[in-house]
Amino acid sequence: MGIKTQPVDIYEYSSKDNFQAYIAVHRKPLIIRNFDIGECLQIWSTDYLIEKLGKMDVKVHISPVGRMNFLHKNFTYKTMPFEEFLSRTSGNNRKKPDKSGLRPILCDNEVLYLRAIGFDRRGRNVANFKHDFPQVANDLNYPDMFDENKFFSSVLRIASPGVQIWTHYDVMDNILIQVSGTKRVVLFNPNDAPYMYLNGDKSEVMNIDNPDATLYPDFYRAVQHLCELQPGDILYIPAFWFHNVLCNTFSIGVNVFWKHLDNEMYDKHDVYGNKDIIPAAKALDHIGKARNLLKTVPKECRFFYLHRCIADLKKAIDETLNVETVQVSMLSEEIAKNSSMLAETAISLINYEEAVQTSSSCKETPKAKDCEEETVPRSDFNLEKSVTLNGTENNANTSNSYQETFGIVNNKNGTSDNLNFYLEKKNAVDCKEPIASTSKNHDNIYLKGDEENIQE
C-alpha cells in the first residue's frame, strides 16, 4: 500500500482581484514564487535578529524530538529572551555547551520552536507581526491578497532543524512566507477528512511518511499534496486544508491569516485561527450531546434512533450535494468522499467497537447456529440510500444466504479498489465469509438488531 502524492501547483501572482477570483473557484494550495518578499531575505541573519529583538521575551516549545505531538504533548513551553532562543535554535544538535555557554534544557538533541503569540495585555493574544515586532516589520512584504478588514493575524515562526508540526487544519485562509531555510509542507484536501483519524482539528497520525497500516489503514487513501518551500516562497493554504510542516533546516517564516468567510462566522475568542466556525462548532456539540443522550436510551431502540440521526445527517449531505439519487456511473470522486464522511459519522454513532467485535465474533464462529444467536446483521442502515449503490444481490436463488455489498466506486478508474466504504447485509442463518469483499478496512458492520428487515 503506497502513499499517494501530488505536487502543489505554482501560481503566478498578479493582483488581489485575480487571486481572489482564482481561489474562489479552485480552493487548493498554491505556491507563489514571483513576489519579492523584501529585504528580510538578505538581512535576517541570526546576528541581525538578535541585535534587533534580542532582549524580548518569547514563549517557545521545547521538545526532545523533532516530531512534535500536540495530542500527546511531547513538548514543554518555556519563556526565554529571544537572544537565547535564537542561539539555541540555530546552533541545535550541540553535544556540549556552545560558545554562548548554553547547556541543553531537556537533552542534547532538543529542538525549539517559536510560534509567536501577541503581546496584548488584555489577554487577546492574537499575533500581529507588524505590531509585535516593529523593529523588523518593514523588512518583510507580502502580496495584497485580501481586503484589509479581513486580516486576522500574522505569526512569526522560527524552528530548529528537524521540527515537525503535527497535521492540523485552520479555519481561515493563510499564506506561509518562507524567509530563511527550507521546509517540506504536506497538505491534505478537506474531503480526505474521513481518512485523517481526526481528534478535533488534529490528525492522530504522527508519522505521515510511514503511517502504521494496522492502526491507520485508511490514511493511505488520502492524497498528500507536497511542496518544499525555499526562501522567498509563499504558500497559500486554504482554510480546512490539513497541513503538516517539516523544517529541513533552521527555518524562519511568517504566516498571515485572513477571514475568508463572513466575520460573524468566527469565534471571537479564537486567537490561533483554529476554532471551528460557530455554526459548525455548535453542530458538533449537538452531535456529542446526541451521542450522550442516546446512551441513556434502552439498547433495543438505541440503534433505531442512532439510525434516525444518521438519516437526518444523510439528508443534509444530499441537500448539500443537490442530488437525490446518484447513479454509480455518475458518481464523482467528491461525492464518494462526502459519502464516506457520512459513513465515518455513522460508524462512530453506532458504537463502532461493539459493531466490530460482533463482526469478528461472527467470522470466528462460522456455524450458522452460533451466528444466529450472536449476530444479526444491521439491515436498515439508511446510508445505502445516500448514493445509488453498486450492489450485487445474491438472495433469490440461494436458499439461506443473502448478501448485498454496497460500494462507492471511484469514477476515475472504475475499480472497486477505491471503495470508500461498504456495508453488508447478511442473513443471520448463513455466516459465511462475505461473497465480495473489496474494501480493506471498512469493515463488515454487523449489529444486533431485528431480523425482519433483512428480507427486503
Ligand X SMILES: O=C(O)CCC(=O)C(=O)O
The H or E element containing residue 369 is helix 368-374
Residue 246 sits in the site that holds ligand X (CB under 6 A): no
- Single-letter code of the amino acid located at 208: I
| Grid cell of 199 as nine digits | 481528534
Residues 174-193 that bind ligand X (CB under 6 A): 174, 176
Residue choice 53, 136, 159, 206 for contact with ligand X (CB under 6 A): 159
Other beta carbons within 10 Å of 64: 15
Residue 202 sits in the site that holds ligand X (CB under 6 A): no
Residue 245 sits in the site that holds ligand X (CB under 6 A): yes
Residues 254-283 that bind ligand X (CB under 6 A): 255
The distance of closest approach from Cβ of residue 31 to ligand X in the complex, given in angstroms and rounded to an integer, is 14
Q: CA-CA distances (angstroms) from residue 384 to 303, 317, 451?
A: 16, 13, 18
Residue choice 28, 61, 88, 157 for contact with ligand X (CB under 6 A): 157
Residue 170 sits in the site that holds ligand X (CB under 6 A): yes
Please answer whether residues 221 and 171 qualify as being in contact, where contact means their C-beta atoms are separated by less than 8 angstroms. Answer: no
Q: Which residues contact 413 (CB under 8 A, 6 or more apart)?
A: none
Stretch that binds ligand X, among 38-46, 157-165, 315-323, 395-403 (CB under 6 A): 157-165
DSSP 198-218: EETTEES---SSS--TTT-GG
The distance of closest approach from Cβ of residue 126 to ligand X in the complex, given in angstroms and rounded to an integer, is 14
Beta bridge partners of 302: none
- Pairwise CA distance, residues 210 & 190, whole Å: 21
- Pairwise CA distance, residues 359 & 444, whole Å: 6
The distance of closest approach from Cβ of residue 360 to ligand X in the complex, given in angstroms and rounded to an integer, is 39
Which positions from 77 to 116 touch ligand X by CB under 6 A, shown as an x/- string?
A: ----------------------------------------
Stretch that binds ligand X, among 93-101, 168-176, 215-223, 282-290 (CB under 6 A): 168-176
Residue 405 sits in the site that holds ligand X (CB under 6 A): no
The distance of closest approach from Cβ of residue 209 to ligand X in the complex, given in angstroms and rounded to an integer, is 17
- Pairwise CA distance, residues 25 & 229, whole Å: 24
Residue 238 sits in the site that holds ligand X (CB under 6 A): no
The footprint of ligand X (CB under 6 A) covers: 157, 159, 165, 170, 174, 176, 237, 243, 245, 253, 255
